[in-house]
């Protein structure tokens, strides 16, 4: 289902129908792939981007458009699990990403509705107020400018919230299109409807094969949200995919807010305004669940009911779903794809905060390719083993994958099996899709791949 951000026509790019050679091949045309290609093209590298559908069509096109260093109640967790220096460095990396994005928008003259806003995490439950206060205290200990407040600019009674000032929001698709234009002006190339089916190492280079042509490159960047290569990276053991539901409403009011908002409770509710044709619309996102597992009710209906409670005259404008990868330790994997594959890089596991993480990834990976040391690369090191320490979640992931493969062996199993690693698919009655609980691939009713890591149709 097409998102609100993809409502308008954007530039079209050719399909790869030849064999070409470049310095860097980027696989994936979302914000991470396009940002990385942009950073490298600006430094003189010859770059090609391969996208299986259309750029900005999937994860980025379905995102909230929030550009923020406030990733839920993250900093006390980081402080407790990794120490003060680590938590502060994570904040600094994301704050620098906001600054970088703003500078790129100004330098490239990108019209993407960029607005500075405050970001809030709020709670309506007295049971969660201590979490909010502890996060504020932790942030202040880290010299992160955070405030405790008891009111937000929405007609919702809250118990308390944490506020980060000087955050931002934009139209993610317009931003990507602006970066793409700059890539083309720098002699880079972007190919749409060019599905990667294989990556093979030959003579210290990589041959990236699509249905109709090949790209030979010294460097490869896997920016497909979920890596399409299973071994030796083993990312399927270090993260899972989560689906969110998004809706945009005309509230029938003069909607004015100074920020955007997300709650601490489950189910998640995330709000922001979108200025469209001179009027502020309300975007609400939530109903998160692990892709392929059983849905509890209709998330769209839940979100609509919540909006109608605060804006009774609201009319639906648009709705869609978006997936993202959740790492077991809540930190993105950015850097070398593995310790044994030289010159191949990855960025994944953004935990639904990919707009700042994409800029961090672009800088870390482009610095590695250019031979520079990035001060944040150790924070997001993709080969780290910390996630494996989360034994309970890892055990659950392995069990689900095992159960799925066992079901495949039952001859009369009623459902099709995923072309990624052979798990049994479940039917999603809300979206009319076949979904994989093991690793999050999704297929149409007719069997066409919608979302990876699967690259083959059923």
Least confident of 110-114, 352-356, 383-387: 383-387
Q: Indicate whether 358 pLDDT > 80.
A: yes
Q: What is the pLDDT of residue 340?
A: 82
Q: Indicate whether 296 pLDDT > 70.
A: yes
Q: How confident is the model at residue 391 (pLDDT cuts 50, 70, 90)?
A: low
Q: What is the pLDDT of residue 411?
A: 40
Rounded (10°) angle between helices 172-185 and 31-41: 30
Q: Indicate whether 89 pLDDT > 60.
A: yes
Q: What is the pLDDT of residue 408?
A: 43
| Stronger pLDDT, 428 or 356, i.e. the higher one | 356
Q: What is the pLDDT of residue 295?
A: 81
Q: What is the pLDDT of residue 232?
A: 73
From the number of C-beta atoms within 10 Å of its C-beta (0-12, 13-18, 19+), residue 17 rates as: exposed
Given a contact cutoff of 8 angstroms between Cβ atoms, the answer to whether 47 and 40 are in contact is yes
Q: What is the pLDDT of residue 389?
A: 47
Q: How confident is the model at residue 412 (pLDDT cuts 50, 70, 90)?
A: very low
Given a contact cutoff of 8 angstroms between Cβ atoms, the answer to whether 245 and 301 are in contact is no
Q: What is the average per-residue pLDDT within 210-232?
A: 90
Q: What is the pLDDT of residue 410?
A: 40
- Which residues are CB-contacts of 191 (< 8 A; sequence separation ≥ 6)? 13, 14, 15, 16, 48, 49, 50, 51, 210
Q: What is the pLDDT of residue 394?
A: 52
* N-term to C-term CA, the chain: 20
Q: What is the pLDDT of residue 304?
A: 97
Given a contact cutoff of 8 angstroms between Cβ atoms, the answer to whether 265 and 284 are in contact is no
Q: How confident is the model at residue 1 (pLDDT cuts 50, 70, 90)?
A: low
Q: What is the pLDDT of residue 231?
A: 65
Cross-strand partners of 290: 242
Q: How confident is the model at residue 233 (pLDDT cuts 50, 70, 90)?
A: low
Q: What is the pLDDT of residue 61?
A: 87
Q: How confident is the model at residue 147 (pLDDT cuts 50, 70, 90)?
A: very high
- My answer on whether omega of the bond before 232 falls inside 30° of 0, hence cis, is yes
Handedness of CA 131, 136, 141, 143 (dihedral sign): positive
Q: What is the pLDDT of residue 241?
A: 87
Cα 19 to Cα 41: distance, rounded to the nearest angstrom: 20
Q: Indicate whether 199 pLDDT > 90.
A: yes
Q: What is the pLDDT of residue 421?
A: 81
- Strand, helix or coil at 440? coil
Q: What is the pLDDT of residue 226?
A: 86
Please report, for residues 66, 241, 304, 341, 441, the alpha-carbon distance to residue 284 in angstroms, rounded to integers and kept in the order given. Answer: 12, 20, 9, 41, 24
Structure tokens at 79: 């402080």
- Range among 231-240, 317-326, 397-406, 430-439 with highest mean pLDDT value: 317-326
Q: Indicate whether 102 pLDDT > 60.
A: yes
Q: Indicate whether 455 pLDDT > 60.
A: yes
**Letter string b/e over residues 292-319, b meaning 16 or more CB atoms within 10 A of that residue's CB:** beebeeebbebbbebbeebbeebeebbb
- Which residues are CB-contacts of 317 (< 8 A; sequence separation ≥ 6)? 4, 248, 249, 250, 281
- Domains belonging to the chain, first-starting first, are 4-63+173-238+330-387 (3.50.50.60), 113-168+240-327 (3.30.9.10), 390-451 (2.102.10.10)
DSSP string, 253-310: S----SEEEEESSSS-EEEEEEEETTEEEEEEEEEEEETTSPP-S-HHHHHHHHHHHH
Q: Indicate whether 387 pLDDT > 60.
A: no
Q: How confident is the model at residue 400 (pLDDT cuts 50, 70, 90)?
A: low
Q: Indicate whether 388 pLDDT > 70.
A: no
Average pLDDT taken over every residue of the chain: 91
Q: What is the pLDDT of residue 407?
A: 46
Q: What is the pLDDT of residue 263?
A: 96
Given a contact cutoff of 8 angstroms between Cβ atoms, the answer to whether 285 and 246 are in contact is yes
Cα 151 to Cα 268: distance, rounded to the nearest angstrom: 19
Q: How confident is the model at residue 439 (pLDDT cuts 50, 70, 90)?
A: confident
Least confident of 5-9, 231-235, 276-280: 231-235
Please report, for residues 287, 409, 450, the alpha-carbon distance to residue 414 in angstroms, rounded to integers and kept in the order given. Answer: 27, 11, 21
Least confident of 38-52, 215-229, 342-356, 396-410: 396-410
Q: How many residues does the chain have?
A: 458
Cα 7 to Cα 318: distance, rounded to the nearest angstrom: 9
pTM above 0.85, yes or no: yes
Given a contact cutoff of 8 angstroms between Cβ atoms, the answer to whether 303 and 247 are in contact is yes
């Amino acid at each position: 289902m097409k998102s609100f951000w993809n409502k308008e026509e954007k530039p079209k790019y050719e399909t790869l129908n030849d064999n070409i050679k470049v310095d860097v091949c980027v696989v994936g045309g979302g914000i991470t792939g396009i940002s990385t290609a942009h950073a490298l093209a600006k430094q003189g590298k010859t770059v090609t981007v391969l996208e299986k559908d259309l750029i900005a069509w999937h994860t980025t096109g379905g995102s909230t458009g929030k550009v923020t260093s406030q990733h839920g109640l993250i900093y006390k967790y980081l402080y407790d699990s990794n120490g003060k220096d680590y938590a502060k460095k994570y904040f600094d990396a994301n704050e620098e990403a906001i600054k970088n994005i703003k500078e790129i928008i100004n330098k490239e003259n990108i019209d993407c509705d960029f607005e500075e806003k405050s970001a809030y995490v709020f709670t309506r439950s007295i049971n969660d107020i201590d979490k909010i206060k502890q996060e504020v205290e932790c942030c202040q200990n880290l010299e992160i400018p955070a405030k405790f407040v008891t009111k937000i600019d929405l007609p919702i009674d809250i118990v308390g919230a944490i506020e980060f000032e000087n955050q931002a929001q934009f139209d993610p698709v317009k931003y990507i299109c602006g970066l793409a234009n700059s890539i083309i002006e720098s002699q880079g190339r972007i190919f749409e409807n060019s599905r990667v089916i294989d990556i093979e190492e030959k003579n210290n280079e990589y041959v990236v094969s699509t249905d109709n042509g090949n790209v030979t490159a010294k460097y490869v960047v896997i920016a497909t949200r979920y890596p399409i290569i299973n071994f030796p990276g083993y990312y399927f053991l270090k993260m899972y995919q989560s689906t969110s539901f998004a809706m945009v409403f005309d509230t029938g009011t003069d909607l004015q807010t100074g920020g955007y908002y997300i709650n601490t409770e489950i189910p998640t509710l995330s709000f922001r305004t979108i200025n469209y044709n001179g009027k502020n619309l309300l975007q609400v996102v939530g109903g998160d669940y692990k892709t392929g597992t059983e849905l509890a009710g209709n998330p769209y209906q839940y979100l609509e009911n919540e909006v109608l409670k605060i804006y009774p005259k609201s009319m639906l404008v648009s709705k869609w779903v978006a997936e993202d990868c959740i790492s077991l330790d809540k930190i993105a994997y950015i850097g070398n794809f593995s310790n044994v594959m030289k010159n191949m890089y990855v960025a994944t596991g953004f935990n639904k905060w990919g707009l700042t993480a994409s800029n961090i990834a672009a800088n870390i990976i482009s610095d590695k390719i250019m031979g520079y040391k990035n001060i944040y690369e150790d924070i997001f090191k993709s080969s780290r083993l910390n996630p494996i320490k989360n034994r309970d979640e890892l055990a659950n992931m392995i069990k689900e994958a095992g159960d799925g493969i066992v079901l495949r062996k039952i001859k009369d199993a009623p459902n099709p099996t995923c072309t990624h690693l052979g798990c049994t698919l479940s039917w999603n009655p809300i979206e009319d899709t076949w979904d994989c609980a093991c690793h999050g691939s999704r297929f149409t009713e007719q069997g066409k791949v919608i979302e990876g890591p699967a690259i083959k149709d059923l």
